[in-house]
Copies of this chain bind each other. A is one copy, B any other.
């Protein structure tokens, strides 16, 4: 594989000139540029990013930290990130942490060792302390889940409000016993969504019932099923369930169905995220739409700005309650 020296030699110019042509500087005369281009063509030369990156001290890689690649919410955000990345000449280093600290550390090393120019963390289970330390010397953005007052810029939505609205919707349909399937409250979004749930319950003069509050370890169909099973085993089962993720909701739906009950007649269900699947269930799922793609694009833009040394502001995006069959019938 040819290198810049050989191109320079063949073109009869210096490496500096070749580099100038490569980088589109206009201080090169037309004839010289032509000669160089000819040489590049003839040698089938492609500049090595290894050399360039070392010299420029950048990798042009963006590290994306997600807990699980199989959750469509993340896939959709990644699509957005990739769109911006590619148009800014960055590439995406996809890292699935499985919420494991060791894995996470391996990935953090990528930025420490200059293999990545910055990080978009979407992992709620991320080690905040490490992240904060890292953020002092490296460009880091949090997306969806964030750490208040950490100084790490973030994009997210108003989880409390979104949750409040979803639960309010259920209550306004006449439901008096509304359950929530939440994830672990060590995560901020889980706490925020719980607050929204409680606020809706209180404001409408309903009673908080601890047995209507279920926590799951992770966001997955099976966890939704299990949680729903618990709810269905109650003497007084709820007539509506709000889940903190569509995956959970779909699992819940499944469980309700397999016990011979009907959604929404016997139990209404609302989810969160508006992943594509949520429109394919039977009945279709009422859910809080998160602007996933947009969240991705904004996170990427913020990160790239940060890498360039610019200051960036936190962003809170709009969500929207999408009412479908699972609460209306």
Contact = CB atoms under 8 A, between A and B. Distances in A.
B113 A96 contact: no
A172 interface: no
Contact of A70 (B46, B72, B94): B72
Contacts of A49: 59, 110, 113-115
Contacts of A79: 69-70, 96
A86 to B, nearest CB: 7
Contacts of A61: 93
Contact of A46 (B50, B113, B251, B277): B113
A75 interface: yes
Interface in A27-64: 46-51, 53-54, 57, 59, 61
A254 B280 contact: yes
Nearest to A52: B113
B91 A93 contact: yes
A228 interface: no
Nearest to A76: B70
Contact of A92 (B54, B72, B93, B106): B93
Interface in A72-126: 72, 75-76, 78-79, 82, 86, 91-96, 103, 106, 109-110, 112-115
A106 B86 contact: yes
In which size bucket is the chain A interface?
A: 35 or more
Nearest to A58: B50
A325 B72 CA distance: 25
Contacts of A94: 78, 82, 92-94
Contacts of A128: none
Interface in A114-153: 114-115, 137
Interface of A: 1, 46-51, 53-54, 57, 59, 61, 69-70, 72, 75-76, 78-79, 82, 86, 91-96, 103, 106, 109-110, 112-115, 137, 220-221, 250-251, 253-254, 257, 276-277, 279-282
17 contacts: A46-B109, A47-B113, A49-B113, A50-B50, A50-B54, A50-B57, A69-B82, A70-B75, A78-B94, A79-B96, A86-B103, A86-B106, A221-B276, A221-B277, A250-B277, A251-B280, A257-B282
